[in-house]
Structure 1
């Protein structure tokens, strides 16, 4: 990624079971699965085999993606090393993501997902009363409850209900165009 942020989504055809074949109740619509976000300065690798497709949705205006093949990196050994270092860092972050998304309770998965997302991509949100005070950290792009549900293995309705609970407890905030924020105190405690 050269500039901006994208949401990666994979689509795979769901295979039919024998009982579905006999009853003719085959779901031929592919299922969409959230694969993650990629921000500026982060590389990503596309390794897909049929019947799998990968889609990238820009979440920030003027998003730019630089396309290269592995053999292109052989021409720039320093750049290749930077890319490999970035992949190592991403691998470490993926372990944290797996830990958060492996939580048993949906509310824990939701809060872990939002915390990791805002730690990686969040921008300071200033207090409206005192512009020198950081109110919290917000995602710079909007996410729908359906997108969040897809990411944490839940439904839009459950995410909406749990977001309300987190908001009541003061664990999340919203700002502007429904941008999701974490209060500054929660980020400072996590650091």
Structure 2
């Protein structure tokens, strides 16, 4: 069940999440903030370890190249004080199959407050408005909280794969119209 990745080019780059939080594009000026957030919150990275300086440079370059190539991507989660507290958005999961992956990584101090739920709702609403029918999530097998989060929001485990050198579960959810 693929999507037309071209449809995703209509996704927004500035999205309000309420309660003073919003999504905005990452930039090279976010290097120090992202490095600090990931080094103090290793669970907010795919590898679940404190990243190196080079890793964060590569990650920002990857995000910027994704914006350039596809016209959308994973964004910075910023609080009302202008502090970067996570990353959230959509990225191409498999270009050959037109699959889009939901990415949500939050600093540990930001979890359990509904921010991830608001980010997923905003991402899903944008996906629906772009006629995207299905979203995917790649979740490490040892990330029990993410598995619970996505499962409780309608994602179903459809298989396993290796994603960025980690065995993970592949989860899928149909995009449904937003509820009022």
Task: Flag whether TM exceeds 0.5 (same fold).
Answer: no
Compare relative contact order (CA 8 Å, sep 6+) and give the higher one, 1 or 2: 2
Q: Would you tell me which structure has more strand in proportion to its own residues?
A: 2
TM-score normalized by the length of structure 1: 0.27
TM-score normalized by the length of structure 2: 0.28
